[in-house]
Structure 1
Amino acid sequence: MNAQPPAASPLLTNCPEGLPVEAYLDPGWFAREQASIWRRHWVLVGHKSAFAEGRLELRRVGGVEVIVLRDPDGALRAFHNTCRHRGAALCTETRADFNGRLIRCPYHAWAYDISGRLVSTGFGTPTADFDKAAHGLFPVALTEWNGLVFLSLADDPPPFAPDLGLTALDNWPMDRLVIGHRAEKELACNWKIFWENYNECLHCPGIHPELVDLVPVYREGVMSEPERRDWQGGPAGPALKPGARSWTLDGAPCGAEFEGLSAEQRAAGHTFVTIYPSCFVVAHVDYVRVVTLTALAPERTRLSAEWLFLPETLAAPGFDLENVTGFAERVIAQDGEACELNQRGLHSPKFRAGRLMPQEFDIHRFHAWVLEALGERR
């Protein structure tokens, strides 16, 4: 009989089966996820700086088009991109009739104020049976968290609940950070393949030579000391290799370290906050990175990353953006290749489902989350 891990260890005590292969290939399964996960749970649609007053921004949530605007008081609002007349799109990627006060349909000139209230039917002449008050734009639930904007298409959205809690980034100056760099990549894989890769480090020694050099525990195929088979408890030491302070090519911080971080947060070197299904945030001592997923098709996923800095860091003489972004972009590229390799192999008619190793406990939890969201039981 195999020795059991310590009681406090997160390791699985068995090797459970993963999701069926249909979960990664079948259009019907993907359509169910769009309806039950992507159109219900909170989905990141951008940093607050992307939504300027006087401009309509078009976003897609679960394949559904949504418009987002900022009113003169600074509040953000979101609506379905559909006119209540005959359903025409109010906004396209390149066209929107909006003067900061009225949203006007480009087809028949129905107009709505920034609260979504219908104020004009254009050249149409409603009769007594038409209730103008009942024909405003369809609202979309919106919440802001640490400068990030999330939408939910559900009439009754679930609570907004990052895995580490709403206060996880309170010690970082999130309200002052600005976007210093963006990168985007389309992957030939199912969105869940990316999250599975994110949730384990068994691949790290073979896929990420630079990362395992920076974070020594990753060399052992685990993400933290409690995942080691011989872990006996006790505090963890610094996560980064000696002399390194941040995730950069040379390990040096890109500017002044954030004030207000605890000693534990500085020693950790990275704090990951996950918000399924669409994003994770990685907070370092000197910058923050936000990675966003968009499920495009059963085997297509868009991956976007934004690097956030203090304005004074970006403006400092000698600031080296490539030293910061080059490291994570290399890791992202390596993960992308691994995810596409994983997706490609699923097309074998012999493969039905994977088997998880004890270190893949977070994948097991993720699978349970997906199945619960779809109303299924493992």
Structure 2
Amino acid sequence: MAPEIRKTLPGAAYHSAESYAVDTERVFYRNWVYVGRAERIARPGAWIRVEIADESILVVRGKDERIRAFYNVCRHRGSRICDEEQGEVRTHLRCPYHAWGYALDGTLVTTPMIDKDEIDRPSTSLWPVHVDVWEGFVFVNLSREEPRPLLEHLADQMDEPLKLARFGLADLQIGHVSTIEVQANWKIIIENYNECLHCPTIHPELVAMVPAYRKGSIFEEGRDDGGVSLADGRTTVAQDPRLRLPLLPGVRGEDDAGAYFGALVYPTMFLDVDGSACLATAVFPTGPQSCRLVTEYLFSPEAVGDPDFDPSPVVSFNELVIQQDNDACERVQRGVTSRAFENGVFPSKDGWVYEFDQRYLRDVESV
């Protein structure tokens, strides 16, 4: 009896405006979405702006050190408040249209040339967004309802990212941030991350350092911790096997130091950990056929604090791999728009891609 043929999503799911609109409402606005490290808003008054599909969100650290998130929309007549990607203010966020000012907790505090009794300030605060932090990683949730707790969301992941907390992720510091625009639907990016059948073809440098990938597998036989071993005594994913950076705080023994662990945090975060570095990538969809990848390269405080610290060997190699992936994803994007492409098929080594698609379908088919 022939095995059941498992099919990919239909072609329109990767390029149509209608499908993207459903993704926006039922995936991006209902799930916890990773937006950046808390370190990027380290001081009271610091803020970052992130775009989640069609919504602009401000993530702000208050005077009480608490991190809050708000829609980037003035309560007066709807002007955007902040245009820069990040900034820092002393006391309040100021709308550039009519100069209404909002305290760091979102409260409306100044309305120039308007009598105080004209506006009920307590009820005219910035519209809030759900926000929570795990191990220094900031997540927001745009649901109109109370979402399930972030930890519950993180526990409900195929790759079990909660287990990676043992590496001391909360203590890591940013050594570099890169932003790359990709002309491919966000799901193509996620699906590519979830398999390595393509690795021997497009990642010759990567498979040279990760033997398990030479056979197109994302797992390594004989390991039950989800990791894969690095070749030639490496302790980080970089071209030169002799490179030695301080190990992450939670690394224990050679099995940790010489391994790489990868985890998708549904829907749009990649978390990649090796002995000396952690890469946190946020995938921000920018349209039906495009997205933005923001990768934070994290290292131990000891490494970042060294006056001679140089993250470039790690950054350059990983950006080589990312570019190879993005070139492939853009090629797929051009192909799936063909009228001939109704759907593709999944062999067994695409099992993790299939599982991602099934979770995605549960989201978009829910009412």
TM-score, scaled to structure 1: 0.86
How many residue pairs are counted as aligned between the two chains? 359
CA distance in 2: counterparts of 1:94 and 1:303, whole angstroms: 14
Q: Which residue of 2 aligns with 1:223?
A: 218
CA distance in 2: counterparts of 1:102 and 1:319, whole angstroms: 36
| Aligned AA (1:73) | D
Mapping of residues 86-165 of structure 1, within 5 Å? 86-93=77-84, 99-125=89-115, 131-155=120-144, 156-160=146-150, 161-162=153-154, 163=157, 164-165=159-160
| Aligned AA (1:314) | V
Compared with structure 1, are the counterparts of its residues 143 and 265 closer, same or farther at alpha carbon in structure 2 (3 Å cutoff)? Answer: farther
Q: Which residue of 2 aligns with 1:8?
A: none
Matched, 1:310 2:300: yes
Mapping of residues 243-322 of structure 1, within 5 Å? 243-263=233-253, 266=256, 269-316=259-306, 319-322=309-312
Q: Give the secondary-structure state (helix, strand or coil) at the position aligned to 2:205.
A: helix
Aligned CA RMSD, in angstroms, stands at: 2.7
Matched, 1:203 2:198: yes
Q: Which residue of 1 aligns with 2:178?
A: 183
Compared with structure 1, are the counterparts of its residues 55 and 339 closer, same or farther at alpha carbon in structure 2 (3 Å cutoff)? Answer: same
Matched, 1:40 2:30: yes
Matched, 1:70 2:61: yes
CA distance in 2: counterparts of 1:65 and 1:278, whole angstroms: 17
- After superposition, give the CA deviation of every residue in 1:202-258 in whole Å (9 maximum; x if it has no partner): 1111111011111111111111145xxxxxx78699622243332111234531223
Is the Cα contact below 8 Å between 1:40 and 1:154 reproduced in 2?
yes
Compared with structure 1, are the counterparts of its residues 127 and 181 closer, same or farther at alpha carbon in structure 2 (3 Å cutoff)? Answer: closer
Pick aligned residue for 2:70 from 59, 69, 79:
79
Report runs of 4+ in structure 1 exceeding 4 Å deviation. 233-238, 317-320
CA distance in 1: counterparts of 2:98 and 2:20, whole angstroms: 35
- After superposition, give the CA deviation of every residue in 1:74-99 in whole Å (9 maximum; x if it has no partner): 21111111122211222222898x84
CA distance in 1: counterparts of 2:309 and 2:96, whole angstroms: 45
Is the Cα contact below 8 Å between 1:108 and 1:123 reproduced in 2?
no
Q: Give the secondary-structure state (helix, strand or coil) at the position aligned to 2:231.
A: coil
CA distance in 1: counterparts of 2:274 and 2:343, whole angstroms: 36
Compared with structure 1, are the counterparts of its residues 238 and 200 closer, same or farther at alpha carbon in structure 2 (3 Å cutoff)? Answer: closer
CA distance in 2: counterparts of 1:94 and 1:187, whole angstroms: 19
Q: Give the secondary-structure state (helix, strand or coil) at the position aligned to 2:361.
A: helix
CA distance in 1: counterparts of 2:91 and 2:77, whole angstroms: 22
Deviation at 1:138, TM superposition (A): 0.7
**Structure with the bigger percentage of helix:** 2
Is the Cα contact below 8 Å between 1:254 and 1:320 reproduced in 2?
no
Task: Report the more deviating stretch, 211-220 or 167-176.
Answer: 167-176
Gaps of at least 5 residues in structure 1 are 3-12, 227-232
Deviation at 1:179, TM superposition (A): 1.2
CA distance in 1: counterparts of 2:223 and 2:247, whole angstroms: 27
Gaps of at least 5 residues in structure 2 are none
Deviation at 1:20, TM superposition (A): 0.6
Compared with structure 1, are the counterparts of its residues 154 and 287 closer, same or farther at alpha carbon in structure 2 (3 Å cutoff)? Answer: same
Q: Which residue of 2 aligns with 1:22?
A: 12
Compared with structure 1, are the counterparts of its residues 304 and 113 closer, same or farther at alpha carbon in structure 2 (3 Å cutoff)? Answer: closer
Is the Cα contact below 8 Å between 2:30 and 2:141 reproduced in 1?
yes
Q: Percent identity?
A: 34
| Aligned AA (1:68) | V
Q: Which residue of 2 aligns with 1:331?
A: 321
Q: Give the secondary-structure state (helix, strand or coil) at the position aligned to 2:164.
A: coil
| Aligned AA (1:69) | V
CA distance in 2: counterparts of 1:94 and 1:326, whole angstroms: 24
Is the Cα contact below 8 Å between 2:207 and 2:213 reproduced in 1?
yes
Deviation at 1:114, TM superposition (A): 2.2
| Aligned AA (2:137) | L
CA distance in 2: counterparts of 1:55 and 1:63, whole angstroms: 23
Larger Rg: 1
Matched, 1:214 2:194: no
Deviation at 1:100, TM superposition (A): 2.7
Compared with structure 1, are the counterparts of its residues 234 and 333 closer, same or farther at alpha carbon in structure 2 (3 Å cutoff)? Answer: closer
Q: Give the secondary-structure state (helix, strand or coil) at the position aligned to 1:296.
A: strand
Q: Give the secondary-structure state (helix, strand or coil) at the position aligned to 2:46.
A: coil
- After superposition, give the CA deviation of every residue in 1:173-220 in whole Å (9 maximum; x if it has no partner): 323321112222111111100111111111111111011111111111
Is the Cα contact below 8 Å between 1:109 and 1:123 reproduced in 2?
no
Deviation at 1:284, TM superposition (A): 1.0
